Structure 1
């Protein structure tokens, strides 16, 4: 079986959207992932704050990497996010995704997104379906 870092590196090499976001993989372990990225000017909405899809997207990438890190292919079947604080251009986002439950076919994950001041800007929850296929 492949190591978690090898699985995530393989996923990231094919993930054009996470690459476009500028995501940096900081740490990966079984059921765990820590990512960072910098908010760019083209990521803001009409209020000149980051589009909600930005914090959602880094959280969704963290979910994918954490859920697949055990070597069993997994895809999201339900996600939700609570946007707590606004995000601005040049903010450095850090997301930490942790596995809450890893069943045979269903997994549950929670992520917290922080800015560069360690302020929580979003909370994300995700459920994945785990296929029998291995990486």
Structure 2
């Protein structure tokens, strides 16, 4: 893999949902997504899976580096505030620590200044196949 920008460009799901990079660098990513009508659940708020997907995509961008493939080993999210159609969300992913082939990343999802979700992921870099 070349790096997170190339990975994101090839990500059909993220591109279909309008996820856009703002800043990508080693161990850090900021992405945006506007909540579309198709993301709304039966309660009239965004389905949590879409908020998770935005955070998970930021996580993937922060933990992948050129020459390696890194995937999620575990992830959890706390939904703090409801999100509605038309809301512009930003996910900021920050590398906290690396240990062996694993890493821990914290991702905050915001709507303006409001925190709407907190996500933590543990990554695992795969061994290269001979």
TM-score bracket relative to the smaller structure: over 0.9
CA contact (8 A) 1:113 1:122 kept: yes
Whole-Å separation in 2 of the counterparts to 1:100 and 1:53 = 24
CA RMSD of aligned residues (A): 1.7
Instruction: Tell me the TM-score normalised to structure 2 length.
Output: 0.93
Cα deviation for residue 103 of structure 1 reads 2.2
Using a 3 Å threshold, how does the CA distance of structure 1 residues 26 and 113 change in structure 2: closer, same or farther?
Answer: same
**Residue correspondences, number:** 129
Whole-Å separation in 1 of the counterparts to 2:54 and 2:32 = 8
Instruction: Tell me the TM-score normalised to structure 1 length.
Output: 0.89
State the 4+ residue runs in structure 1 displaced beyond 4 angstroms.
Answer: none
Whole-Å separation in 1 of the counterparts to 2:33 and 2:65 = 20
**Which residue is 1:46 aligned to?**
42
Deviations 1:76-121 (A, max 9, x none): 01000000000000000001000011122111000000003x1000
Moved more, 97-106 or 85-94: 97-106
What pairs up with 1:29-108 in 2 under 5 angstroms? 29-69=25-65, 71-108=67-104
**Which residue is 2:10 aligned to?**
14
**Is residue 124 of structure 1 aligned with residue 115 of structure 2?**
no
Structure 2 residue ranges without an equivalent (≥5):
none
CA contact (8 A) 1:32 1:98 kept: yes
CA contact (8 A) 2:107 2:120 kept: yes
